[in-house]
Structure 1
Amino acid sequence: MTSPTAAAGAYAQISNLLGPASGLGGGVAAPKTGGFGDMLEQAISGFAEQGRQTDQKAMAAISGKGDVVDVVTAVAESELALDTLVSVRDKVIAAYEEIMRMPI
């Protein structure tokens, strides 16, 4: 099981990777139409936003204003999103390696 600290670090790195041009300043990104790159960018943005929401729920619980069940649920959802993101990354890398092995 991934620790909340590891998950928080992972989505922070993704947010830094996307940078300010990604429109992650607040709210959920609007759905985009387009290719695989747009779909991937939207998924990463959604993951980063979910991590922020998990942080907000955790901070509310720490200050006594939130529910622990909400925090546990949010952490589990973040963990699932991280696992999905890692799986997609692994598939993309495997596809790239397969393409690189093709003869020219």
Structure 2
Amino acid sequence: MATDLTSALNAYRAAAGQAAQAAGGAQPADETAGQKFTELVQGALETTNTSLVQAEQLTASAAVGDAELVDVVTAVAAAEVQLETVIAVRDEVIRAYNDILKMPI
């Protein structure tokens, strides 16, 4: 999933640069800003993955009686919120990318 999102972000950045150049010879967006955004998204994905793994481990621990149910519910809820946030960001990036593809050249 992380690779697909990174590819989409890179394609979005390239399309935005091409659209800007075609519109009036403007220079493409700063390359380092695009890299920082990609790193930000990758960090969010890694944090979400860690949260999901932790929730899964707590669930397994609770199944054998080693963890409190309150801790499991809290971890699962936090992981769910993070995952929904990542999905929402992904959907917006894809929507923006599709909007760029629809722009006349």
Cα deviation for residue 56 of structure 1 reads 1.4
Equivalent residue number for residue 74 of structure 2: 73
Between the aligned partners of 1:79 and 1:54, the Cα distance in structure 2 is 10
TM-score calculated relative to the size of structure 2: 0.65
Task: Point out where structure 1 has 5 or more consecutive residues left out of the alignment.
Answer: 1-13, 19-32
| Partner-residue secondary structure (3-state), 1:103 | coil
Higher normalized helix content (fraction of residues): 2
User: Which of these two proteins has the greater Rg computed from alpha carbons?
Assistant: 2
Q: Which amino acid aligns with 2:53?
A: R
Cα deviation for residue 73 of structure 1 reads 0.7
Equivalent residue number for residue 47 of structure 1: 48
* Count of aligned pairs: 75
Equivalent residue number for residue 90 of structure 1: 91
Runs of 4+ in structure 1 displaced over 3 angstroms?
Answer: none
Query: Could you say what the CA RMSD is over the residues aligned between the two structures, in angstroms?
Result: 1.8
Q: Which amino acid aligns with 2:58?
A: K
The sequence identity of aligned pairs, in percent, is 37
TM-score calculated relative to the size of structure 1: 0.65
- Structure number with greater CO (CA < 8 Å, separation at least 6) is 2
Cα deviation for residue 81 of structure 1 reads 1.0
Which residues of 2 match residues 23-38 of structure 1 at below 5 A?
34-38=35-39
Find out whether 1:100 has 2:97 as its counterpart: no
